[in-house]
Copies of this chain bind each other. A is one copy, B any other.
Amino acid sequence: MTDLSRESVEKAASRIRSHIHRTPVFTCQALNDIVGSELFFKCENFQKVGAFKARGALNAVLSMSDGISEVVTHSSGNHGAALAWAAGLRGMNCHVVVPKDASKFKRAAMVRYGANLVDCGSDLASRETKLAEFLERSHARFIPPYDDPYIIAGQGTATLELMEKVSDLDQIWVPVGGGGLASGAILASDGRVEIVGAEPELADDAYQSMKTGKRESPRDPITIADGLRSSLGDQTFEILHRACTTIALVAEAEIVGAMRMVWEHMKIVIEPSSAVTLAAILRYPDLVKKKVGIVLSGGNVSYASAN
């Protein structure tokens, strides 16, 4: 049972404030007209390392006691880059266990931020085995990608900032992969704003878990939204389940369509994982209230391959 609260998010916010960007909140009349609501986009694609993951990783790294010189994690991209960046700020080494089929663009980014990459297979079991092997032969501290109180609190700061900027939102939509961003949003909101999750149909473990009331294993997730292939952890499941979080599912073509709408109307680059929220808003108009926040989670996509 986690004892995380809004206060944990506020503490994370003061801890990381001087190193991260307070990203802008964009609006777009054309999208408002299409949806029929007022939309407020929190642009974490402009965040350090191009994704909200910088927040949680930095909060975790800055919360560690002195004397640790190495960290390790597993990641298909953004969390790995974020941890390498955050570790660099404290002069630590960072290792990342990376699935072989991770986006080349994201692999290159992790290396650019100083990560040492350790290859593994594409399924979760392979990730976990490789990580366990690595931890056995090193002194590195494991920083999980989402199922960790410091990570969750850190990710919550994106929602906290959005609520500070637009005070009277009816709801906030966030993408759900491992559930770190969504859990952080629920803590930050503390019941003041409804938090709605969106998830690809092809990686629907959070949807299934909310339905059955227990943590469901994922199918082999092959969605284009590569940041959302993870499944909920114990802590993120608990937070989402306790809040009775609605999860809206979207198809792959809807994700691509929504991504394209954001690129073309808002002139900003978002990655597929960021587009699931708008895709869900377009698919389920009955779920959508009048004044709606949307966390655009990241912008790390190659112009050449859209992956």
Contacts and interface: CB of A to CB of B under 8 A. Distances in A.
Interface of A: 24, 45-46, 50, 105, 259-260, 263-264, 267-270, 299, 302-304
Contacts of A263: 269, 303
A264 B303 contact: yes
B46 A264 contact: no
A45 B105 CA distance: 25
Q: What is the copy number of this chain in the assembly? A: 2
Contacts of A264: 105, 269, 302-303
A267 B50 CA distance: 8
A299 B268 CA distance: 9
A268 B267 CA distance: 6
A252 to B, nearest CB: 16
Contacts of A304: 260
A227 to B, nearest CB: 15
Most chain B CB within a 10 A radius of its CB, from A45, A260, A268, A270: A268
B46 A303 contact: no
A117 to B, nearest CB: 20
A93 to B, nearest CB: 22
